[in-house]
Amino acid sequence: LLELGYTPGDPFPEDEDVKDALSKVIENTSFCGDLLLRFPDVSHKMFKANPNWKLIIKWAISYVNETRILVKPDTTLLELMAQEMKVVPRSPDYVNPYKAQIQQEAEKAKRELEEENQKAIEKA
């Protein structure tokens, strides 16, 4: 894209090669975001083993955001992706429900609630 002369924020390109390159960057960034958010534990291990990938993802998030082509659901994906990667500060209420630790905590809370309900039934 840089070699083809497209700068984020420019009007949507007319040239087919530029359109193709831009769509690949946007699609692959979104796909990577889906994988990162749904499989965070595995993804972070991969990024730790391949530090250059994190740089590429940071660039892609920034580049795609600057194009201003995406609409709200997709921009939300990029925002969550940036928070998960710690590219931007995490909001106080940020939680990735797919993290193993979060799932374990949820299962524990569910079991405790079920135990409390069972005790209440037994007392009644």
List, for residues 61-112, the tens digit of each pLDDT value: 999 999 988 888 889 999 999 999 999 999 999 988 888 776 677 677 777 7
Q: Residue 47 pLDDT > 80, yes or no?
A: yes
Q: pLDDT at position 98, please?
A: 81
Is the model's pTM score more than 0.95?
no
Cα–Cα distance list, 81 to 57, 65, 76, 112 (Å) = 9, 12, 8, 32
Give the C-alpha separation, 6 to 67, whole Å.
10
For the chain, what's the residue count?
124
